[in-house]
Structure 1
Amino acid sequence: MVSYRLTVALLAGLAALTSGTLLTNSDSDAQDRVTPIPNSIPQRRSQEGVESLMHAKLSHSHQILDGLVNHDFDSVELAAGDLKKMSLDPPDGWKRNDADGEVYEHFRMEFMRQAAQLERAAREKNLSGAAWYQQNLTATCIECHNYIRDYDR
């Protein structure tokens, strides 16, 4: 005779196999009723592009501060050059009206100018000049973010 435990195990296995078949069949029915993905996904991707760029800028800013503290002028020059290149174009997904575009353009150009000055000061191993431009660069970032935050309200 078959033991009670073996019977229960066989029935449980049979139930698992049967339910898997039923789930597979009901899955194909569900795919017929799938609703399309909303069109807001490209906007989300654009926002992710902006956030990714901001994180990269922050990483370079940390590299600059670390270089200034450790008198690693090569690191400061490299990070400042990268920041300057990043500011050549507005980030993907940046869409504002014309008046806002002019204000953002001012911040972008000021950021680029200060990054170039920081790069030059680091090349010349001018610690006080590099520190001064790094502080101004940070202040420009804060003001730009304040402007954008106020605009979004």
Structure 2
Amino acid sequence: MRKTRPLLFLAIPVVAFLFVEWNGTAAQQPSAQKQLTAAKPAVPAAEEQQDGKKADNEAGDGALDRFMQQKLAASSRILEGLMTDDLKSVAVNADKLLEMSKEERWRASNDMMYLQHSTQFRNAVADLYNKADKRSIDGASLAWVNVTMSCIKCHEWVRNVVLADLEPQRK
């Protein structure tokens, strides 16, 4: 029981941050959607409200939301695996994150800084996978902190640089 207490104290702020981080990113998505839908022909308001979900999906917003949910689900299962000493689950979900990071929709930018953040994330997740595969709870826990920090830094950069660069184009 003693072994999991320090992890629990670490887990609570990480989960809270990931929740806030995802909601913050999702809150900014409608602005990006405005840019995508600006070129569409005008649609009567009543029809637009009825087809709101359909329009979101056409713009790819629904797919991006589902992708973010999959990332969060894998992250939650990694954290749960660390809390319950289920390192097999940690390894399986680390592998899922690695595979997701190779998908085209993962790439938010072609900028060198973004590519560096993405590479750091992949390296951190690979380290997590290796530590979990070797059944090292302490190593996997520290690797998870590194994965989380790489997520935070990348999301911060995307919010402050990529989305900020899009803002003048929207006006």
TM-score range, shorter chain: 0.5 to 0.7
Higher relative CO (Cα under 8 Å, sequence separation at least 6) belongs to: 2
- Show structure 1 runs of 5+ residues with no match: 1-33
For the pair shown, which has the larger CA radius of gyration, 1 or 2? 1
Cα distance between partner residues in 2 of 1:43 and 1:67: 33
What is the total number of aligned residue pairs between the two structures?
A: 113
Q: Is residue 86 from structure 1 mapped to residue 100 from structure 2 by the alignment?
A: yes
Residues of 2 paired with 1:64 and 1:83: CA distance?
A: 10
Deviation at 1:112, TM superposition (A): 1.1
1:46 aligns with one of 60, 78, 90? 60
Deviation per residue, 1:77-98 (Å, 9 max, x gap): 1000110111113416x564x5
Correspondences of 1:13-28 after superposition (within 5 Å): none
Q: 1:106 aligns to what?
A: 116
TM-score scaled to structure 1, two decimals? 0.64
* Counterparts of 1:45 and 1:126, CA distance in 2: 43
Deviation at 1:43, TM superposition (A): 8.8
Deviations 1:61-106 (A, max 9, x none): 11011000100011001000110111113416x564x5xx222111
CA deviation after TM superposition for structure 1 residue 49, in Å: 2.8
**Cα separation, 2, equivalents of 1:95 and 1:77:** 25
Percent identity of paired positions between Structure 1 and Structure 2: 27
- Alpha-carbon distance in 1 for matches of 2:150, 2:62: 22
Matched, 1:58 2:68: no
Unaligned segments of structure 2, at least 5 residues: 1-42, 49-54, 165-171
**Gap change, CA 1:107 and 1:44, over 3 Å in 2:** farther
Structure 2 residue identity aligned to 1:66:
E
1:102 and 1:117 map into 2 onto residues whose CA distance is: 22
Against the structure 1 CA distance between its residues 123 and 95, is the aligned structure 2 distance closer, same or farther, given a 3 Å change threshold? closer
Query: How far apart are the structure 1 equivalents of 2:159 and 2:90?
Result: 29
| Letter in structure 1 aligned against 2:136 | N
